[in-house]
Amino acid sequence: MLFTNDYALLKLLCLCVIEVTRNWTGKCKDCAKIHAQLEDFFGDRMLL
């Protein structure tokens, strides 16, 4: 998949997260670890 800019990728990611969490009932295993890794990769582009 090709994205025209970072915003297009972010928008798709946000829409996917919204869709997945719509019926989410369980806990996120290692959520803090995942967030830290995303923050390392995306740096100042993280919105969370």
Which pLDDT does position 28 carry in this prediction? 75
Which pLDDT does position 45 carry in this prediction? 74
Query: Number of folded domains in the chain?
Result: 1
Sorted by sequence, the CB contacts under 8 Å of residue 35 that are 6+ apart come out as 48
Domain housing 16: 6-42
48: in domain: no
Which pLDDT does position 37 carry in this prediction? 86
47: in domain: no
36: in domain: yes
CA dihedral of residues 40, 47, 29, 16 (deg, nearest 10) = -120
The DSSP code sequence of 1-48 is: ---SSHHHHHHHHHHHHHHHHTT--S--TTHHHHHHHHHHHHGGG---
37: in domain: yes
1: in domain: no
Which pLDDT does position 46 carry in this prediction? 67
Whether the full predicted model's pTM is greater than 0.85, yes or no, is no
13: in domain: yes
- pLDDT, tens digit, for every residue of 1-48? 678 998 998 899 888 888 888 877 777 788 888 888 888 888 777 665
